[in-house]
Structure 1
Amino acid sequence: MNTPQTPMYVWQHKDWPQWRFDPAAVQKALSSARLAQGMLLGAVHAIGFGSADLDNVLSEIWVQEAISTAAIEGQSLDLDQVRSSVMRKVANRYIGPSSRHIDGLVDMMDDAIANCDLPLDENRLCSWQAALFPTGRSGVEKIEVGRYRSFDEPMQIVSGRPGREVVHYRAPDSRDVPAEMDKFLRWFNQAPRMDIVVKAAIAHLWFETIHPFHDGNGRIGRAIIDSIIAQETGGDKRLYSMSRQMEENRGRYYEQLNQAQKGDLDITDWIIWFADQFAASCQKSLKHIDVALEKARYWAAHSGDEFNERQKKVLEKLLDAGNGGFLGGLTREKYTKITGCSDATGTRDLADLLQKGALTSAGVGKGTKYFANVPGWHGNTERPQLP
């Protein structure tokens, strides 16, 4: 490997790949991440795996993870097809068609956590990459599939239009990839015990720095995060969506990676940022679980009430929007637009929902706003009792 006098990238340093960080500096971020993780795990165990409501939430987290990990790479996936593929995988239930490349992505994500205790090796990684590109092409471009890259051209991360490209990063040459990956995999499978969040942060950065495949490195690198986290939590349930968190902070994600890859092997800042994202991911999952359980309690409290299809549709929208999420509150006009019914029918439906305690209202006349009758929402203080 050619090493310049002044290294531009971390893999060009003489100490590569001896990552280092300041344990004291990262402790606060790691503690916050562990607290958020503990709260999420506590909520999950209190509900109990196998709960239909929890399983629905976790399946949806998986759907969002798949969509987000593709979106980071600029790929837009069909929501219904992703949901269909996930349901076939986690529930063995057919709800609609999906495409081969979506099934391949879901298969890779499933293997990463379901078999998290298995050693990670070249064959497994190559199988993951092949699953992402079942036609042997990335878009219209034919790529190397099921093996490490071998082309002579530099592997670069580039942005900008042709002729005005900006090179953000250059990975090790293809001829060096097998030896670099051997070092990475030995560390991955045999590294001394360390904080799992730190290990996930290092593994993701290290893998992305080598960039061993022609395409698919980002998605595989994020699956590696999932696999490491799953080693600690156990089971095959996806409790977090790190990809969604990274997609929401996509610019910062790339910036942090780029800074670490051009640094001097001190990755203190990268680990702090990564731990913060993990904590945020846990907090969002906990919020999704809380909302799902709130909805379950709501429908249980009204299990003896009969609602027509129009009413059910609107109630679902209100509950999905959450507290304050339905912009401006529900009005009779919005109700009729959502359901397609007449003003008279809308008025009767809303009066019936108020009478049954499914909604509360504020205001008078045409200015009346309606809200889901959920404790803590819009001044509601008492939780409906479960039957």
Structure 2
Amino acid sequence: MRLMTTSRSISPWIWRRPDWPEGSLAYDARAVALDLAEAYRMHGILEGKAAAIGIGRTSQVALDALSDEVLATAAIEGERLSLDAVRSSVMRRLGLSTSGPINRSVDGLVEVISDATTATDTPLDEDRLCRWQSALFPGGTSGIQRIAVGRYRDHTDPMQIVSGQPGREVVHYEAPPSKDVPEQMKRFLTWFADTSPARASSLPAAGGKPNDGFARAAIAHLWFESIHPFEDGNGRIGRAIVDMAMAQHLRQPVRLYSLSRQLLTFRSAYYDALNSAQRGETDVTAWVQWFARQITAACHAASQVIDQAIEKRQFWEKHEGSGLHDRQRKVLQRLLDDGDGGFLGGLNAEKYMKMTGVSKATATRDLSEMVKGGQLWSEGVGKAVRYYISVPGWGHV
């Protein structure tokens, strides 16, 4: 899917409704209650597990979650970033030492996501959004094409999201004309400020009740993407706005999950849900429901990651003081990192030799010691013997 400016006209879009945006962005609180409740339940479980093992902002789990968010939000737009460059940038951002590669575009995206989730009390205004967009395109280009950077789009042709070959395009969405963007964004930013947790109680949403925090994040994303104020980078900035809305609501000091990874996994459904809401009925109940379910799924995936971290910690605590050699610890850590069934075909002497550089006699002795010590268990005989790490509940299938 790509952005395009053409002279083709399509109607009607959500922003063309007479009740846009207020009436078009209402939702049925009772209809979404169960989905929102499940999202909060799953997030609570995730927070509880993180607290149980003391996950901090520079922990491996937090580093991986932020790295995953950066990689995924770019990948949704079809941009594949270097994992090494992303990890290096994230580590520098977290104040950790690294000798990894430096990439200005990657640094810019990391800066945007970090700013959105840490400076939550700083107002979201036009200047801040424009600085975010500038950070995404430090050279002033998208690929080899020059784009408007650090300002709202100003071209006269319609801004459309299309797919398909030239001449056979399918127009999925057409944003408001560039001339209307400043006023449209002014209304959006005013709403975002007025519905922030600090002010929501004094300025209730439609229906006389403040917006739920997760629902507000969903609506903010839909509203921003519907305006599509920039020539490029709207998707990444729109997801950063989601991050900011969620961070304002949850006040969580450490990122534990990647919502963009969940959206990337179901990218087609993500675009379909957005497209349906942008040309849908007078409320966005279905969109809020879908969005809440993605939060639940993202938290569930992160919960499984923390489960693995807990299992690793428990494994090493159980075998503390076991007198393992460094090479044995290295192999055990590799097996733990690969997870249940992740080390294809199990471990054998030949694989151990390649991983450690030791002789066959040493490999056999090391493996036997780890079986005796309870770190590994084995099955098979002779050349068919395979070794598996001893973690309760792991089936190695």
TM normalised by structure 1 equals 0.91
Pair 1:291 & 2:291 matched: no
How far has the Cα of 1:90 moved from its partner?
1.2
Distance 1:59 1:366 in 2: 40
Pair 1:39 & 2:39 matched: no
How far has the Cα of 1:308 moved from its partner?
4.3
Letter in 2 for 1:271: V
Distance 1:13 1:7 in 2: 10
Distance 2:179 2:319 in 1: 65
- Listed one character per residue, the Cα deviations across residues 321-340 of structure 1 (whole Å, up to 9, x for unaligned) are 21222233223343344445
Distance 1:94 1:340 in 2: 27
Q: Identity of aligned pairs, percent?
A: 52
* 2:297 alignment counterpart: 280
Structure 1: gaps of 5 or more residues: 1-5, 380-387
Structure 2: gaps of 5 or more residues: 1-9, 196-203, 205-209
Distance 2:336 2:57 in 1: 20
- Listed one character per residue, the Cα deviations across residues 109-128 of structure 1 (whole Å, up to 9, x for unaligned) are 11001111222110111110
Pair 1:368 & 2:382 matched: no
**Distance change (3 Å), C-alpha of 1:51 and 1:27:** closer
Pair 1:224 & 2:241 matched: yes
- Listed one character per residue, the Cα deviations across residues 280-332 of structure 1 (whole Å, up to 9, x for unaligned) are 11111111112112212222333324444543342222111212222332233
- Listed one character per residue, the Cα deviations across residues 119-165 of structure 1 (whole Å, up to 9, x for unaligned) are 21101111100011111011111110011111112111111222322
TM normalised by structure 2 equals 0.88
* 2:200 alignment counterpart: none
Higher mean alpha-carbon deviation, 338-347 vs 350-359, is at 338-347
* 2:95 alignment counterpart: 91
How far has the Cα of 1:229 moved from its partner?
0.9
Higher mean alpha-carbon deviation, 231-240 vs 94-103, is at 231-240
Checking the alignment, whether the CA contact within 8 Å between 1:371 and 1:378 is kept in structure 2 is no
Checking the alignment, whether the CA contact within 8 Å between 2:57 and 2:63 is kept in structure 1 is no
* 1:384 alignment counterpart: none
Which secondary structure does the structure 1 equivalent of 2:387 belong to? strand
Distance 1:291 1:351 in 2: 25
Which secondary structure does the structure 2 equivalent of 1:180 belong to? helix
Pair 1:26 & 2:43 matched: no
Distance 1:309 1:84 in 2: 26
Matches within 5 A, 1:1-387: 7-17=11-21, 18=23, 19-50=25-56, 55-191=59-195, 192=204, 193-308=210-325, 310-339=327-356, 341-378=358-395
Which secondary structure does the structure 2 equivalent of 1:169 belong to? strand
**Distance change (3 Å), C-alpha of 1:7 and 1:165:** closer
Checking the alignment, whether the CA contact within 8 Å between 1:114 and 1:235 is kept in structure 2 is no
Which secondary structure does the structure 2 equivalent of 1:91 belong to? coil
Which secondary structure does the structure 2 equivalent of 1:66 belong to? helix
Distance 1:241 1:265 in 2: 30
Distance 1:181 1:160 in 2: 30
Distance 2:79 2:57 in 1: 33
Which secondary structure does the structure 1 equivalent of 2:94 belong to? helix
